[in-house]
Amino acid sequence: MCLLVSVARLADAAVADYLGKPIVEVHVALNGIEVRDTALFEVVETRTGSPLSMLAVRETMAHLYGLGRYQDVQVDAALRGDGVVLTYHLVSAQRVRRIVFEGSLGLPEAELQRLVVDRYGGSPSPVRTPLVVSTLQTLYRNRGYPRATIAARVEPGRDPGSASLVIGIQSGPRATLDAIEVQGGQQSAAASAEVLRRLDLRIGGEYDGIALDGRLARYAEELRGQGYYEANVAQFPRFANDDRNVTLVISIDRGPHVEIEFQGDPLTAREREQLVPIAREHSVDEDLLEDSKFGIERHLRTGGYCNPRADYQRNVGEGVLRIVFNVTRGPQCLVESLDIAGNTAVSSVELAPLIQTRTGQPFNDNTVGADSARIQGFYRQRGFASVKVAGQNERGQAVNGVAHVRVRMEIAEGPRSVIQSVTFEGNSAIGSDTLRQTVTSVPGQPYFEPQANADADRLSVLYLNRGYPGITIQLQPSLAADKAGVDLRFVIREGPQIIVDHVLIVGNQRTNRDTIAREVHFKSGQPLSQQDEDDTRAGITALGLFRRVDISYLALPGVLNHRDVIITVEEALVTTIGYGGGLEGGRRTVVAPDGTAAEEYQFAPRGFFEVSRRNLFGKDRTLNLFTRVSFAKNNTADGGGGYGFNEYVARLTYAERRVFNTLANGTISGGVEQARRPSFDYNRHGASATLTRRLSQTLAVNGRYTIDNTTLLRIRSEEFSEQDIDRLFPQVLLSSFSGSVIRDTRSDSIEPNAGSLVGIDVEVAARAIGSEVGFIKSFIQGFNYRRLGGSPIVGAFGGRIGLASGFPRYVTEPGQVQPTLVDDLPASERYYAGGDTTVRGFALDRLGPLDASDFPIGGHGLLIFNAELRIPVRGSLGLVTFVDAGNVFLHVDDMRIGELRGAFGVGIRYRSPVGPIRVDLGVKMDRRTLPTGTRESPTALHISLGQAF
């Protein structure tokens, strides 16, 4: 490295002296010091040995600037012999890394930081310094410091590329109130004083306009709550006495007290509230009243009243505005007959499925209108571009409040237009054959304008993906005189094809460039494709390392059709910490004093702490430590109670995308866990390694190896000491491989309202791979979610099947001669059912085989089916009704549909920021007598987070 002393002078006509001469040396200097960074030389277009061209110089300047690291690029040239020595002088771009406030601020620094970062970003351009000052000046004035002096400067940091924005503030004293006048509202002095008290205003008090705005808004809200729906409250401050004081005018316009009255035919309170939203909207303007009138009439028409009226009157009295709605339902109308006429090209049978108006049903002209629109659309798709459908409704005399309506839909089909030819004009880069394959409109097909427009869009996309960003496509259909034939012409203006010159990645501080470059679909020399942009953006965003990804194109001076692609990333926080606490509650199985199982409601505080470190070593690698602990009641077999930290998890997970440069994502996880089940507690420590490969947006496969050691603790079921597997292996080492396929088309993973989730999982544990016990276990699950009939109600349906079988093994117990055959799964691996996510009429694990003391012992077969209606009620609140069925079977051979047990129930959902909070009450469809002779409890209550399935 050496120091380059710039002795350059500005060349005028001298450039011509260098042009065309061979370049003998190229240097790059950063802040006066020569650099030999190969990445920089990659973007230098002026190569040693080539004749000097200003075009190449200009291109190089653009590339260097596009790197985003330099604020200035200067190029100087010097003659050496017959050649030219070129030097690019770069000046580091100063990025503001820190915003520092100093001086006497008067306002909280956090507020100032927030304002500047929200408005100008965390790293504002030094060019924007005057705007930052102006924004702060406005804030200080509004907060009562009109005399604040604010100055900002950019101070270079230790690294030449970084700088601090130092904002010096002398807030000065806050202006005080020297006069306050309350205008409007209640005129008496006492009333004005009360207003000032409510607004916390007094002569001599300090003025803070923003805080006062908040208090005024609350006061206005109170007035609206009292029926003054048009209340308007505002402040008008005037700074006086050299900005030392504020003369404040508070304007209160309460407007009239609004009373709403309904006369005529009755509406329910709910209908009134929904259809006349005056209280909700805090307004009584004419538009809202008109909307309310039409809303009532529409609502009544939907109910079959064919001539409803909901006229309103505004009666203004002394300070009171009375709005009277006079509701007249009119006669109830029923459809007497429905005729369709004028259709010759399409039969009435073909049209029938499009019509929702039914004979004998309430008449609704909105439904008739929608039917007409559907018929019209149906015809247009078949080439009848000028089709008209007119609904003619003939109403008979009302008898006993009921009138019959004869509905007739008169269809004027018009001529059918068929595409005669499809031609393309103006295309030179893409042949007409390729374009023809892209469009769906073909000769002989009926002409349907939306379809032809969609074809034009398809052609645009084709061009955009081939690097023609300026593409315009005009659809020009020419109808024959009889309108029976259409010549379809796509007029194309291609514009220039744009080629990718360099791909420059900017803004990555910690992240390795290669990690980002792997996701880049653009290639130098290839057309600038829209699809490549979309894929690149999606790929980089999916890394999860950046809070912002921008892709822009830098035009190169003097080169018409080349662009540098500049990918600018803003890195997200590397370390994130999460923690939280809560209370879990529900019906749990406990040991009764006589040693049998009983149920009681238990509540346990729990908390979690999580720390994640992303972007390890600049690669897309993450390390996560998750811990969770519950302070729950001990539930020992001797009936011992007391509380303890008897449920906990600590798990360390390392994740890496595209592991070993493959398309798979890898995860290695290890940890300890202790948990309570009704019949036993267990402690498990182990590790697993998972590889996941996403085959498409919705389909993923994964393979996993798991090794863990599980110890049963506090065994409450006597059956366990009798079952060979649990007696011989109270502590068991399991080593297993598993694989799963998941297809997930759900609209949302937390609260889906459409789509489905299907998964198949198979796990094999075998002694050959180090397991003490061998088994095969499979689990198939499918869930479907859909809106019912276009309503906001979501139907959720699910089914789960679990099948397991142990590999036989003979174990000789100490002191025994005959070996014992073991072919069951250990207790911790068997299936259980009952609880908030399976069959909700039962407490956790209480569905299925029980021992003599009523403790669940689990089984090798599992069937669960669920159906649930999720009904939004208001805001974040929703209701559900559900039916669940399922059971656990000792062995797969025992599985019988007839032995499923059912439960139904209702639940409440509250959509919180952390997911739906759920309360479900399940009721058993049949209560049975337990092995100890007691009857099952009829219900189970569950409180938890997230949907049941």
Partner 1 sequence: MKIGTLMVATALLMFGVQSAPAEIIDRILAIVAGQLITKSDVEASRALGLIDVRPAEGQSADEAALKAVIDRVLMLSEVRRVVPRAPTDAAIDARLAEIRRRFSTPGALQQALAANGIDESVLRIYAEDDLNLAAYLDERFSAAAQPTDQEILQAGEANRQKLAEERRRALISAWIDELRRRADINVLP
State the residues that interact with partner 1 by CB under 8 A.
1-11, 13-16, 18-19, 53-58, 61-62, 65, 71-81, 85, 87, 125, 127-128, 493, 552, 554-555, 557-558, 560
Closer CB to partner 1, residue 490 or residue 832? 490
Which residue, 1 or 190, is less far from partner 1 as judged by CB? 1
Q: Which is nearer to partner 1, 94 or 417 (CB)?
A: 94
Q: Convert 751-787 to b/e letters by CB count within 10 Å (16 or more is b).
A: bbbebbbbbbbebbbbeeeebbbbbbbbbebebbbbe
Report, in Å, the least distance between residue 81 CB and partner 1.
8
If DSSP codes are grouped into helix, strand and coil, which group holds residue 322? strand
**Closest to partner 1 by CB, 76 or 532:** 76
> Is residue 489 exposed (0-12), middle (13-18) or buried (19+ Cβ within 10 Å)?
middle
As given in the structure block, the two tokens for residue 94 are: 């100063």
Q: Which is nearer to partner 1, 75 or 917 (CB)?
A: 75
The number of residues in the chain equals 949
Nearer to partner 1, 555 or 700 (CB): 555
Residues in Cβ contact with 127 at an 8 Å cutoff, skipping those fewer than 6 apart: none
- Give whichever of 46 and 710 is closer to partner 1, judged by the CB atom: 46
| Shortest CB 79 distance to partner 1, Å | 4
Residue 67's SS3 state is coil
Choice between 493 and 684, CB closer to partner 1: 493
Nearer to partner 1, 54 or 652 (CB): 54
Nearer to partner 1 by Cβ, of 345 and 429: the residue is 429
- Whether residue 31 contacts residue 54, with contact meaning beta carbons closer than 8 Å, is answered with no
Whole-number Å distance between alpha carbons of 30 and 40: 11
Tokens of 821: 């055959």
- The least CB distance from residue 78 to partner 1, in Å, is 4
Q: How far is the CB of 156 from partner 1 (least distance, A)?
A: 15
Smallest distance from partner 1 to CB 165, Å: 15
Of 14 and 193, which CB lies nearer to partner 1 in the complex structure? 14
Q: Cβ of residue 34: shortest distance to partner 1, in angstroms?
A: 8
Of 920, 879, 908, 883, nearest to 793 by C-alpha is: 879
Q: How far is the CB of 1 from partner 1 (least distance, A)?
A: 6
- To 10 degrees, what angle do helices 209-225 and 189-198 make? 120
Q: Are 581 and 607 in contact (CB under 8 A)?
A: yes
Closer by beta carbon to partner 1, 60 or else 596: 60
Task: Give the pair of three-digit tokens for residue 634.
Answer: 């001990």
Q: How far apart are CA 557 and CA 566, in angstroms?
A: 15
Residue type, 648: Y
Task: Map tokens 């300047």 to a residue.
Answer: 61
Comparison of 94 and 357: residue with beta carbon closer to partner 1: 94
Q: Do strands 388-395 and 485-493 pair parallel, antiparallel, or not at all (unpaired)? A: unpaired
Rounded Cα–Cα distance for residues 829 and 826 (Å): 5
Which one, 2 or 817, has the nearer CB to partner 1? 2
- Dist CA 831 CA 889 (whole Å): 9
Task: Give start and end residues of each alpha helix (H) in 199-267.
Answer: 209-225
Beta carbon of residue 615, minimum distance to partner 1 (angstroms, whole number): 27
Query: What is the SS3 assignment for 662?
Result: coil
**Quick one: 476 or 576, whose CB is closer to partner 1?**
476
Shortest distance in whole angstroms from residue 7 CB to partner 1:
6
Taking the complex as a whole, the smallest distance from the CB of residue 476 to partner 1 amounts, in Å, to 17
Sequence-ordered list of residues with C-beta below 8 angstroms from that of 179, at least 6 positions apart, any chain = 203, 247, 248
In the complex, the smallest distance separating the C-beta of residue 10 from partner 1, rounded to whole angstroms, is 5
Closest separation in Å from C-beta 191 to partner 1? 47
Taking the complex as a whole, the smallest distance from the CB of residue 529 to partner 1 amounts, in Å, to 21
Cβ 563 to partner 1, closest distance in Å? 12
Q: Name which of 833, 714, 826 is nearest 775 in CA terms.
A: 826
Assess contact for 85 and 76: CB atoms under 8 A: no
Nearer to partner 1, 60 or 235 (CB): 60
The DSSP result for 683-744, as a single string, is EEEEEEEEEEEE-SSSEEEEEEEEEEEEEEES---HHHHHSHHHHH-SEEEEEEEEEEEEEE
C-beta separation of 140 from 148 below 8 A: yes
Secondary structure (DSSP) of 760-811: EEEEEE-GGGT-SS-EEEEEEEEEEEEESTTSS-EEEEEEEEEEEEEPPEEE
Q: Which C-beta is closer to partner 1: that of 70 or that of 379?
A: 70
User: Least distance in Å: CB of 70 to partner 1?
Assistant: 9
Residues 6+ apart with CB under 8 A from 882: 840, 866, 867, 868, 869, 904, 905, 906, 907, 920, 922, 948
CA distance 359 to 372: 16
Could you tell me where the beta strands, DSSP code E, fall in 573-663?
575-591, 597-613, 621-633, 643-656
- Is 519:545 a contact under the CB 8 Å cutoff? no
Minimum Å distance from CB 82 to partner 1?
Answer: 12
The Cα 290–Cα 310 span in angstroms is 10
Taking the complex as a whole, the smallest distance from the CB of residue 22 to partner 1 amounts, in Å, to: 14
On the 0-12 / 13-18 / 19+ scale of CB atoms within 10 A, 75 is middle
CA dihedral sign of residues 507, 511, 514, 519: negative
Nearer to partner 1, 35 or 650 (CB): 35
- Quote the least distance from Cβ 130 to partner 1, whole Å: 12
Residue type, 94: Q
